[in-house]
Amino acid sequence: MAATTTNGLPPIPLSAPRILVIGAGSRGHAYAKPISIFRTAHIVGICEPDPFKRTVFGEQYIWGPEERSAREWEAFDSWSDWMEYEEVRRARVEAGEVRKGHPEFGGVDAVIVSVLDELHVHICKALAPLNLHVLCEKPLATSLVDVVGIYDATTTAWEKNGGKKTIFGICHVLRYSPHNMMLRKLVREEGVIGDVLSVEHTEPVGWWHFSHSYVRGNWRRKDTSAPSLLTKSCHDIDFLLWLLCSPASPTSTEKPHLPSTIASSGTLNLFRKARKPKAAGSTTNCLSCPVEKDCIYSAKRIYVDLHFDQGDMEWPVKIVVPDIGMRQGTASVRRKLRNLVPDIEDISAKEGNASARQKLLDVLAKDYPAGTPDADIKSRNWYGRCVWECDNDVFDDQHVAITWDDDPLPTSAESTHEAFAPAHRNPIDNSSLNHRAAKTAYFHMIANTQVICERRGRIHGTRGEIAYDSTTITVHDFATGLTATHRPRREVGGHGGGDSGLASNFVSAVQAVKNGEMEAEGAQKIFLGCSFEEVVRSHVAVFAAEEAVEKDGGAVVWSEYWKDKVEGKLNKVVIL
């Protein structure tokens, strides 16, 4: 059994869910940390190939900072190693070799998948037959074929398990921030601006954030990752469908108001060689560039001046040189890993920040000469590379337009539908369309912005208008002329509290199923607020937008796309 007390925190109930985390990077910590703080579940295992990350994660959430090694069932080099262990463990339990009360008897109830995007499909398909609850980092997969494949493998496993479903959540964390929950409540449950006519939503990625992740980093190429609309903004497409497509209440049996068309256009406008300053000449690395001191995208300026020299060695610095983060580990971690990692930890411990700073500069100075095989270039990240000379090909500016047609519900459903509170009813909203009238959503993803991922937008309705950013929601009522300003509580943690909100809700859903309080399908809708089908739908919308780009702006018809790309690929046709 995992430790029930850590650093003076209260004990975790023995009956709480047992969770395995696959991937000890920043996203693994983002979900493990609130679970640990709120004491709602036992994190009992970690799968991570990097020994430093694996040990730091284990000491923080599993076996504690005491001087001992991880037990057999607590730490694995890879998810496949855990799969082999789990197969043997289950056989031993079945044979009576492992009895109730032994730490291995209970296994795990749920798995959090927080590894590189391209690995999701392999892990999720492998997990499907085990009938465990799963929370997967977004995106679900990097291709439409793989998204549908995961859905098919999971639903097939449910059928083989006698129709008994499990929870399958996706980390579309925008749904779980207090800000966005209030925004949706105002729009869909209270109907403060009447029926929605149009939405304009923007994701400002951030000027240096985009250059770090999508020009120099992991998500810069479609052939090694996926389009930036999927890797960065599938959150936002999901947000729009949650706001406009899904029923007002997650427990409603009302069918979703599905889109009619999806169109998109995108460009790689900024980060390309044509925009390289002439004074930079043929230089391809920032540290040897004659205009480095004047370039806002200087790797030295971003990673050293703006972060390291300010005492900040977290993201993005720890992504460039992961070993620098060892300075922040416990003494026992450092002692255990002294011979397992490069010498940055020893240099930092013995010589201080100056040596660590030089190590960072050394990493940034690395470059590839002309003629380097493409396979070698794309096999790693080049954080000191000139942003005008990188091998990036994902869009840095993209627009998506989603339209809906009138789709009224049958009269019997209209008579019982209560999407809006009576206090906000208005004759203009009481048409036979029942709040399922034609509407449009416009999304804009743009790289070069001052703020980083601080979404903003406007929602235009039949009786009012809403303007929002990441801190404030302003509602104007046309009838009264009054404007009300809402400031939802600002939670700590990533995505405005969305990370911790999702982690807590996922654990609550698993706990409800484990206790026998409800079936998985109901728990998923109550606590996660969406079905597995909605998870798939929002991903399909992203791929439809990408296909629209290939049509030179021509719109994709949703019903046809869904029938061809999803229904036609499933072993069992499921209408979502």
Residue 556 belongs to a domain = no
Residue 186 belongs to a domain = yes
User: Do the Cβ atoms of 169 and 429 come closer than 8 Å?
Assistant: no
Residues 6+ apart with CB under 8 A from 331: none
- The 3-state DSSP class for residue 568 equals helix
264 shares a domain with 185: yes
108 shares a domain with 157: yes
Query: What's the confidence (pLDDT) of residue 185?
Result: 95
Secondary structure, 3-state, 23-84: CCCHHHHHHHHHHHHHCCCEEEEEECCCHHHHHHHHHHHCCCCCCCCCCCCCEECCHHHHHH
Residue 566, token pair as written in the block: 């999803």
The 10s digit of each residue's pLDDT in 96-151 is 998 888 888 889 999 999 999 999 999 999 999 999 999 999 999 999 999 999 99
Q: Work out the widest C-alpha separation in the chain, in whole angstroms.
A: 76
| Stretch 29-43: mean pLDDT | 93
pLDDT band at 423 (very low <50, low <70, confident <90, very high): very low
Residue 63, token pair as written in the block: 């076996």
AA letter at 536: V
- Mean pLDDT over each residue of the chain, to the nearest integer: 88
Query: What's the confidence (pLDDT) of residue 392?
Result: 98
Task: List, as one string, the DSSP characters of 451-486.
Answer: SSS--EEEEEESSEEEEE-SS-EEEEETTT--EEEE
C-alpha–C-alpha distance, residues 354 and 362, integer Å: 12
Residue 566 belongs to a domain = no
CA-based Rg of the chain, rounded to a whole angstrom?
25
Residue 569 belongs to a domain = no
Residue 31 belongs to a domain = yes
43 shares a domain with 32: yes
70 vs 394, which has greater pLDDT? 394
| Stretch 187-198: mean pLDDT | 95
Query: What's the confidence (pLDDT) of residue 495?
Result: 62
What is the domain count for the chain? Answer: 3
CATH number of the domain within which 435 lies? 3.30.360.10
Give the end of a domain, one of 377, 403, 420: 377
Residue 327, token pair as written in the block: 């300075």
Query: What's the confidence (pLDDT) of residue 399?
Result: 97
User: Do the Cβ atoms of 445 and 233 come closer than 8 Å?
Assistant: yes
How many C-beta atoms surround the C-beta of residue 66 within 10 A?
9
How many C-beta atoms surround the C-beta of residue 49 within 10 A?
14
Lowest mean pLDDT among 421-430, 449-458, 481-490: 421-430
Lowest mean pLDDT among 18-22, 219-223, 353-357: 353-357
Q: How far, CA to CA in Å, does 481 sit from each of 200, 340, 484?
A: 22, 66, 10
| Stretch 542-570: mean pLDDT | 91
Query: What's the confidence (pLDDT) of residue 572?
Result: 53
40 shares a domain with 154: yes
Q: How far, CA to CA in Å, does 537 sit from each of 19, 87, 140, 534, 566?
A: 27, 32, 11, 5, 9
132 shares a domain with 22: yes
Give me the domain span that covers residue 79: 18-174+499-530
Alpha helices per DSSP H over 339-435: 344-351, 353-365, 374-377, 411-416
The 10s digit of each residue's pLDDT in 468-508 is 998 999 999 999 999 999 999 876 666 667 788 899 999 99
Q: How many residues does the structure list for the chain?
A: 576
Query: What's the confidence (pLDDT) of residue 100?
Result: 86
490 vs 75, which has greater pLDDT? 75
| Stretch 349-377: mean pLDDT | 90
- The 3-state DSSP class for residue 202 equals strand
pLDDT of 510 strictly over 50: yes
C-alpha–C-alpha distance, residues 176 and 239, integer Å: 10
DSSP code of residue 88: H
User: Do the Cβ atoms of 435 and 419 come closer than 8 Å?
Assistant: yes
C-alpha–C-alpha distance, residues 404 and 559, integer Å: 11
- The 3-state DSSP class for residue 254 equals coil
Q: In percent, how much of the chain has pLDDT > 90? A: 73
pLDDT of 152 strictly over 80: yes
The 10s digit of each residue's pLDDT in 293-341 is 999 999 999 999 999 999 888 889 988 987 554 444 444 444 444 344 4
Residue 158 belongs to a domain = yes
Query: What's the confidence (pLDDT) of residue 417?
Result: 45
284 shares a domain with 266: no
pLDDT of 422 strictly over 60: no
How many C-beta atoms surround the C-beta of residue 406 within 10 A?
13
196 shares a domain with 136: no
Is the backbone peptide bond immediately before 316 cis, with ω within 30 degrees of 0? yes
330 shares a domain with 285: yes
Residue 313 belongs to a domain = yes
pLDDT band at 234 (very low <50, low <70, confident <90, very high): very high
The 10s digit of each residue's pLDDT in 193-213 is 999 999 999 999 999 999 999
151 shares a domain with 53: yes
Residue 113, token pair as written in the block: 């998948």
AA letter at 55: T
pLDDT band at 425 (very low <50, low <70, confident <90, very high): low
pTM beyond 0.85:
yes
263 shares a domain with 142: no
What's the distance, CA 270 to chain centroid? 25
C-alpha–C-alpha distance, residues 328 and 56, integer Å: 10
pLDDT of 550 strictly over 50: yes
Q: How far, CA to CA in Å, does 22 sit from each of 48, 189, 319, 575?
A: 7, 37, 18, 31
User: Do the Cβ atoms of 510 and 41 come closer than 8 Å?
Assistant: yes
2 vs 442, which has greater pLDDT? 442
Residue 241 belongs to a domain = yes
344 shares a domain with 301: yes
CATH number of the domain within which 92 lies? 3.40.50.720
pLDDT band at 415 (very low <50, low <70, confident <90, very high): very low
284 shares a domain with 365: yes
pLDDT band at 430 (very low <50, low <70, confident <90, very high): low
Task: List, as one string, the DSSP characters of 147-173.
Answer: HHHHHHHHHHHHHHTTT----EEE--G
Beta bridge partners of 468: 457, 473
